[in-house]
Amino acid sequence: MQRCEIKAKRTQDLIDATLISVDQHGLHHTTIKTISSIAGISSGLISHYFDGKQGLIEATQRYLLDNLKHALLIRVQNKKLEPQQRLFAIVEANFTDLQCSNPATKTWLSFWAQAMHEPQLARLQKVNNQRLVTNLQYSFAQALEKNDAIDAAKQTAAMIDGFWLRSALQAKPEEAFKEAEQLCKRYISERLR
C-alpha cells in the first residue's frame, strides 16, 4: 500500500472509531484512548493526523456532512428531475442508513450541542444549514413563486431537522425515521399542490 492509501485508511479508521466511541461513551467520555483502542491504532496518530481530539471530532463531522452531500448528489446529479422528485431526493439524503445509524445520530446530537460553544463546529453547522435551505429553495422555486419558495424551503428544512431529531430520540428510531421521511414528503406534495 502506498503512503497516501495508508494515510487515507488510517484517517477513515479513526473517523469510524470516533463514531463508535461517541455511540458507546458519549462525546464527553470519548477520549483519544477510547478512539485509538477501537481503531487499533496508536493514540499518537490522532495527534499526527488531526492535531488531537478536537481536530478528529471536526473531521468526523465533516465526514457526516460530506456523506450527506454525496447522498444527495447520487440522487440528483445528471438527472432530469421534476421539482417534487428533487425535493424528495433531498429528504431521502437526510434519512440514509448512515445518517440514521446510532453512531451518526449520537455524533450529530453531540455536535449540535458543542456547536453552541465551539466556533469551528458552529461554522460547520451554518454551512450545513445553508446548504439544506439553498437546495430546498432552488427546488421549490421551480414550482412556486419566490416568496412561497423561500417559506416552503425554511419550513421543510425545519421539518427535516425536527423530525430527524424526534426520531433519533425515540426508543425505536428505525421506524420513526421511516415515518419522518414519509411525513416530510407528504408535506412537500401538499405544498406543491
pLDDT at 7: 80
**Helix/strand/coil for 42:** coil
Mean pLDDT confidence for 102-115: 92
State the residue for C-alpha cell 424526534: 166
Give per-residue pLDDT as tens, 4-47: 787 888 899 999 999 999 999 998 899 999 999 999 988 888 88
- The answer, as to whether pTM is greater than 0.85, is yes
How large is the average pLDDT for residues 148-167?
Answer: 97
pLDDT at position 178 over 70: yes
Question: What are the sequence ranges of the domains in the chain?
Answer: 58-192
* DSSP code of residue 40: T
Whether 173 contacts 167, CB under 8 Å: yes
pLDDT for residue 98: 95
Phi-psi bin for 26: left (phi > 0), alpha (psi -120 to 50), beta? Answer: left
Give the helix ranges, DSSP H, for the chain. 3-25, 32-39, 44-50, 53-76, 83-94, 102-115, 119-141, 146-168, 173-192
CA distance 129 to 125: 6
Contact in structure between 30 and 15 (CB atoms under 8 Å): no
The three cell numbers locating residue 126: 451554518
Q: What is the pLDDT of residues 56-74, one digit of tens each?
A: 999 999 999 999 999 999 9
Average pLDDT, the chain: 94
At 110-157, the pLDDT tens digits run 999 989 998 988 999 999 999 999 999 999 999 999 999 999 999 999
Binned at pLDDT 50, 70 and 90, residue 85 comes out as very high
| pLDDT given for residue 2 in this prediction | 80
Task: Mark 22-47 as b/e (b = at least 16 C-beta within 10 Å).
Answer: bbeeebeebebebbbebbebebebbe
How many residues in total does the chain contain? 193
Residue that wins the pLDDT comparison between 111 and 87: 87
| Best CATH choice for the domain 58-192 from the list 1.50.10.10, 1.10.150.120, 1.10.357.10, 3.30.450.20 | 1.10.357.10
| pLDDT interval class at 1 (50, 70, 90) | low
